[in-house]
Amino acid sequence: MKRTRRFGGSALKLPMTRSSEVARARRQLQHQGWPRLQMALIVLLTGGAGFLASHVLRLAGLDSMLLRYPLAVLLAYAVFLLLMWIWIRWRWDAVADGAGDVASNGGGGGSTPRSGPSWGGNGGHSGGGGASASWGEASAASVMDSDGASLLDAATEHEAGLPLLAVLGILALVASVLLASAWVVWSAPVLMAELLVDAAIVGGLYRRMQGMGAQGWWRLCLSHTFWPLLGLLVFFAGLGWVAQQLAPGAVSLMQVVQAL
C-alpha cells in the first residue's frame, strides 16, 4: 500500500511509514478529537485516584509518608494506564470504520485507495486546544516578576519561618503536580495518535507498510510519561521525608501543617 501524489501531471508513489501515519492521525485528532480535553479528564481522574490510594493506604496502616506517597503515585499511574486502555478501546470503533473504508475502496481500478484508517471519529470539532508557545513565556515572566527574595527573607525569621515554609511546601506540591499534568496534557495529541496507529497495526489494518511495527500501547504510554512519572516519584518521596523530619509523629501533610 502506497500513497499516491501528483506532481506536474505525473503520479509519484510514496511509501507509507509509521511516522507519516502518526502525523496524519495527530492532525485529524487535533481537528476532530479534542485530544487535550480528553487527556485533561484522564489526568484529573488519575490525580483523584492517587489521593484515594494514599487515603486507603493510610487506613491500611501505612503511616510512613516517605513510603506511602510514592506508592500512591505508582497506583495512580496504574489507573492512568487503565484509563488509556479504555480510551483506546473507545476510539477503536473509529479506527475500524476507517478500515472498512479502505476495504471498500481497495477494489476499484480507477481511483486511488485510501492509505490507511480514518482517525477522525465522533470526538467533536476542535483546532487542537489553541496551541501556542506564548504560555511558556508568560509563566516564565510571572515567575521572574515575583518577589522571591522577600519570601526567603521572611522564611528565615524566627516567628513566621515555619508556617511560611509549610505554605511554600504546599505551593511546591501544587506546582509540581500542575507541571507534570500540563506536560502530559500538552503532549496528548502525539501520544494518542501513536496509540491509535499502534492499535491499527495490531488489529491488522496495515498489511505491508514500510517501517510499520507495533510497539505496545503500554510502552508508548511509559515512553511519553516517564519523566513526569519519575519527577513525581522523586518529589513525593522527598516531600514525605521532609514532612517526617519536621513532624515525626504526623501521618499526613495536614498534621504537619498543624504541628508547625
Fill in the DSSP letter of residue 157: S
DSSP string, 14-56: EE--HHHHHHHHHHHHHHHT-HHHHHHHHHHHHHHHHHHHHHH
Q: Alpha-carbon distance 35 to 170, whole Å? A: 30
Predicted local distance difference test score (pLDDT) of residue 117: 59
Predicted local distance difference test score (pLDDT) of residue 206: 61
Torsion 19-22-24-26 (CA) sign: negative
Q: Alpha-carbon distance 237 to 255, whole Å? A: 17
pTM of the model: 0.68
Task: Please name which of 221, 229, 194 lies closest in space to residue 73, comparing C-alpha atoms.
Answer: 229
Predicted local distance difference test score (pLDDT) of residue 19: 81
Q: Where are the alpha helices (DSSP H) in the chain?
A: 18-32, 35-59, 65-105, 134-145, 148-155, 161-186, 188-202, 217-246, 253-259
> pLDDT in tens for each of the 260 residues of the chain?
445 444 444 444 445 677 878 888 888 888 877 889 999 999 999 999 999 999 999 999 999 999 999 999 999 999 999 999 999 888 876 565 544 444 444 433 333 444 455 555 544 444 444 444 444 444 444 444 444 444 335 444 444 455 666 677 778 888 888 888 898 999 899 999 888 888 877 766 665 554 555 678 888 899 999 999 999 999 999 989 988 888 888 888 888 878 77
Please tell me whether residue 4 adopts helix, strand or coil conformation: strand
116, part of any domain: no
128, part of any domain: no
Supply the angle between the helices 35-59 and 188-202 in degrees, to the nearest 10.
Answer: 90
Predicted local distance difference test score (pLDDT) of residue 203: 65
What cell does 57 get?
Answer: 493506604
36, part of any domain: yes
Predicted local distance difference test score (pLDDT) of residue 144: 40
What cell does 229 get?
Answer: 512519572
Predicted local distance difference test score (pLDDT) of residue 54: 95
215, part of any domain: yes
56, part of any domain: yes
Please tell me whether residue 129 adopts helix, strand or coil conformation: coil
197, part of any domain: yes
Please tell me whether residue 7 adopts helix, strand or coil conformation: strand
Q: Identify the bridge partners of residue 13 per DSSP, sorted by sequence position.
A: 4
Number of domains present in the structure of the chain: 1
115, part of any domain: no
CA distances to 59, 161, 260 from 248, in Å: 18, 18, 12
Predicted local distance difference test score (pLDDT) of residue 212: 57
Q: Which domain holds residue 224?
A: 20-101+149-259
CA distances to 25, 115, 127, 189, 223 from 121, in Å: 11, 17, 15, 14, 26
12, part of any domain: no
